[in-house]
Amino acid sequence: MDIYDQVEQISNKADFIQFLKALKNHLISHGAEWENDTLEMYLEGLYGYCYDTAESDELSWKAVAKMFIAAKVYE
């Protein structure tokens, strides 16, 4: 299962932890797909995505995972 499919299956903390591991492995094996491949750029993308999206104040593990996956390319 790829990380985009995996993020859609997240329903609890354990799923989110597995997603984080998969996200790290995706960076290692598919780093060329990441526009934000440094920590500074990634955090800037995470900030931008969180700022621009209309997520509620009560987040699910899936919503947090979507933020993390979006940050790899969000400007």
pLDDT above 70 coverage of the chain, percent: 97
Which residue reads 């920590």 in tokens?
39
Between helix 13-30 and helix 61-70 the angle, nearest 10°, is: 10
Going by pLDDT thresholds of 50, 70 and 90, the confidence category of residue 57 is: confident
The per-residue pLDDT for 55 is 67
Amino acid at 23: L
In this predicted structure, the answer to whether residue 64 has a pLDDT above a threshold of 80 is yes
What per-residue confidence (pLDDT) applies to 13?
92
The predicted-structure confidence for 13-31, as pLDDT tens digits, reads as follows 999 999 999 999 999 999 9
Q: What is the pTM of this model?
A: 0.79
